[in-house]
Each structure stands twice: as structure tokens, then as C-alpha cells.
Amino acid sequence: MYQDCYAPYDRMPVKRRNSWYCLEIKTPIVPEGTVFITQYHKEFKDAHRRMAIATVGRDNLFLREQIDSNLRVDNIDKIIRSNVSVMLIDKDKLEKRFAELADQWEEETRYSSKMRDIINNPSYVKIKMLGKGVIPMILQRLQRNRNYWFDALKYISATDPTKGRQVDDIDQLADIWIEWGDAYGYCVK
């Protein structure tokens, strides 16, 4: 009945009439036309998960219908507003923008030995704001040219696969992130 289901999501973008409400999604760029079932929370700590069906549009997701009968349409505004949003954007544009910022960051911090300056560089901060879509691009760069991408990866992914792992060398740190990317479908290798 429903094809190409991607799960799990924490949250999803929603279009509601003329207003855009977008939520962060966990997986990489999802193809247009994909239909999926998703769960979302009314509030951050709300254990009562609600279900909905959404369809990926050209640059957004549409909430089609709710499966959970407890969810009323007029509740959606309140639910969505409580979440931080990230839009699906055009992949080519994203790649181009990332490449510009990444090249700029690498050049500007090439001779800096101060980690604070490196990760607070304006181009690096802008990369962090680009969202999860740049994770594969970062990981590709990390494979090709080892650099201090770890802070950006942690921030964007909201996770840390190196936590609790024995790491003796910075290359191991990079390898853990690359393995993580591969395991989570960021198609690095």
C-alpha cells in the first residue's frame, strides 16, 4: 500500500496550508515522491507517539493524513511549532554551497594551530547550519583529506560514535566517523 517507507524518523517536514513547518529528519536526502509512515512527538518528552503518513514533495514533505485518531488537524500547528526545522533542499545547490564553504574554511585555517579558531571560523559555522544533507560530503572530504571535521559532524548528526571508544590516534577518530557514515547509509565507502 505504501512504498519506499523510511523509518524511523523523529520528526518530519510538514506543509500546512500556506505555512511551512519543517522538522529535522534523520536519514539522507529522500527522493521526491517517496511515501512513508512516520512517528512524531507532541512534545519532546511525550511518550505518546503519533503516526502520520507523509509524501516527499519537490523540496518539502506533505503531511497527508494521520493514522492516529487522537491527532486532530488543528493540533498540528502546535506540534510543529515546538520543533526546530530543517528543509530538504536541492542537492546540487547544497553540494555547491558546501564546497564553497569547505574550501574557504580549509584555506583560511590552513596555518592555524588553535582549535578554537578552526572550529569557530565563520565558514565552518555556516557548514554546521547546512544540516544533515552535508554529512556525506563531509565524510567524503574526511576520507580524501584528513581535517578537523569532527566538531561539525557531532553538531550536525547530534551524535558521537567515538564516545566510549578507545581512540589513540586522530586517524582512528576519522575512521570511526567514516564507519558510522557507512553504517547509517551516508554512502561514503
DSSP class of residue 161 equals T
| Residues counted in the chain | 189
Per rule CB under 8 A, is residue 188 in the interface with other proteins?
no
Decide: is 62 part of the binding site for other proteins (CB under 8 A): no
- 10 vs 151, which CB is nearer to other proteins? 151
- Find the binder of other proteins among 22, 162, 181, 188 (CB under 8 A): 162
**Candidates 3-11, 21-29, 74-82, 165-173; binding stretch for other proteins (CB under 8 A):** 165-173
Look up residue 90 and give its amino acid: D
Which residue of 67, 99, 158, 170 would you call a contact of other proteins, by CB under 8 A? 170
Q: Are 52 and 40 in contact (CB under 8 A)?
A: yes
CA distances 81 to 67, 77, 84, 159, 172, Å, are 20, 6, 8, 23, 40
Q: Does 44 bind other proteins (CB under 8 A)?
A: no
Q: Smallest distance from the beta carbon of 129 to other proteins, in angstroms?
A: 20
Give residues 101-160 in contact with other proteins (rule: CB under 8 A). Answer: 106, 109-116, 119, 145-148, 150-151
Determine, following the binding rule CB under 8 A, whether residue 58 of this chain makes contact with other proteins.
Answer: no
Instruction: Please identify which residue in 1, 17, 48, 169 interacts with other proteins, judged by CB under 8 A.
Output: 169
By the 8 A CB rule, do 28 and 186 touch?
A: yes
Nearest to 27 by CA among 10, 42, 14: 10
What is the DSSP secondary-structure string of 46-73? ----EEEEEEE-SSSEEEEEES-TT--G
State the residues that interact with other proteins by CB under 8 A: 106, 109-116, 119, 145-148, 150-151, 162, 167-171, 173
